[in-house]
Amino acid sequence: MVRKAVIPAAGLGINFLPATKAQSKEMLPIIVTPTIQYVVEEAIDSGIDDILIIIGKGKRAIEDHFDRNHDLELYLENKKRDDQYNEIRRIADMANIHFIRQKEINGLGDAIRYAEQHVGNEPFAVLLGDTIIDSVIPVTQQLIDIYEQYRHTIVAVETVPKENVSRFGIVGGKQVSDALWSLTELVEKPSIDKTPSDLALAGRYILTPKIFKAIEDTPADKNNEIQLTDALQLMVQREDIYAYAIEGKRYDIGNKLDYLKTIVEIALKKDDISEEFLTFLKNIVSEKGHA
């Protein structure tokens, strides 16, 4: 049974400076909700309420967001702003959220290593804190369901255009069913001519505790970082690993353009603003077309 989740959120967020000088990029809002809140809610919706968030030095905004703010609560209560008061309280009480600081930014694999004591000898979910996935069934729940059948590490994947494979970790292996592969290979950001497939890692994993030994045995890459993909490639030589093609739409806020696209698409799903926002977008496009 998967009872715990780990959310790495310690990156420097270089692409979003200066906004990320004092806060993690995972706190960048999608309209009014921080990106990482969507990720935490996915874990909760998947039946997990024990969550470890790995944060970076000097960036306490994530901790503060999921903590109580008594002065704000009192202000909202006195002003009879019940909806906002209830939402603020809900965020603080939604799960058992723990934090640990990654002492140096040494890659995703190194960040996962900090979770070893917390998860112990249990399988656990990993949800990247800068990736939102919109789906009917939470993607983490989809992976848990597959894990319960196979009892091996499961990685979420999605098909990407061949010309974009160099931006992702890519997997290769034997197809077991319509949406499941038994893996033989995982490569971090391969070139087009060396990619094993067009199946890209999608920011969600169910890992067994054996990942920690694989991370320990994984050498640093050319940037002196330990990549989770490299650790999984080492692990696939030791035991079975499966990839599952997710059902859902993935939103990545790793760069400015994708971040803006995410805001637009999610805004168009909001009942309270979608109609006016769509009219605004149409007017903008029309004006640009006649400029």
pLDDT (tens digit per residue) in 59-81: 789 999 999 999 999 999 999 99
Please state, as a whole number, how many other Cβ atoms lie within 10 Å of the Cβ of residue 30. 18
pTM exceeds 0.75, yes or no? yes
Per residue in 101-160, pLDDT tens? 998 888 999 999 999 999 999 999 999 999 999 999 999 999 999 999 999 999 999 999
Report the number of distinct structural domains present in the chain.
2
Where does the pLDDT of residue 290 fall: very low under 50, low under 70, confident under 90, or very high at 90 and above? low
| Residue 222: pLDDT band with limits 50, 70, 90 | confident
Q: What are phi and psi of 175, to 5 degrees?
A: -75, 130
Same domain, 218 and 131: yes
Please indicate, yes or no, whether residues 180 and 134 belong to a single structural domain of this protein: yes
In this structure, the answer to whether residues 248 and 157 fall within a common structural domain is yes
Q: Are 276 and 136 within one domain? A: no
For residue 89, what are the domain limits? 4-254
Query: Residue 189 phi/psi, 5° resolution?
Result: 50, 60
- The pair of three-digit structure tokens given for residue 179, joined into one six-digit string: 């949406």
Considering the domain architecture, whether residues 229 and 164 belong to the same structural domain is answered as: yes
User: At 51, which CATH number?
Assistant: 3.90.550.10
Please state, in angstroms and rounded to a whole number, the distance separating the CA atoms of residues 36 and 80: 28
Residues 114 and 230 in one domain: yes
**Statement to judge: residues 76 and 50 lie in one domain:** yes
Report the pLDDT value the prediction gives residue 291, as an integer from 0 to 100.
57
Count of C-beta atoms within a 10 Å radius of residue 210: 14
237 and 266 in a common domain: no
Residues 127 and 191 placed together within one structural domain of the fold: yes
CB atoms within 10 A of CB 10: 27
State which H helix or E strand residue 141 sits in: helix 139-150
Whether residue 279 is found in the same domain as residue 156: no
Q: Is 201 in contact with 191 (CB distance < 8 Å)?
A: no
Using CA atoms, how far residue 6 sits from 9, 30, 98, 125, 196, in Å, is: 10, 21, 9, 6, 28
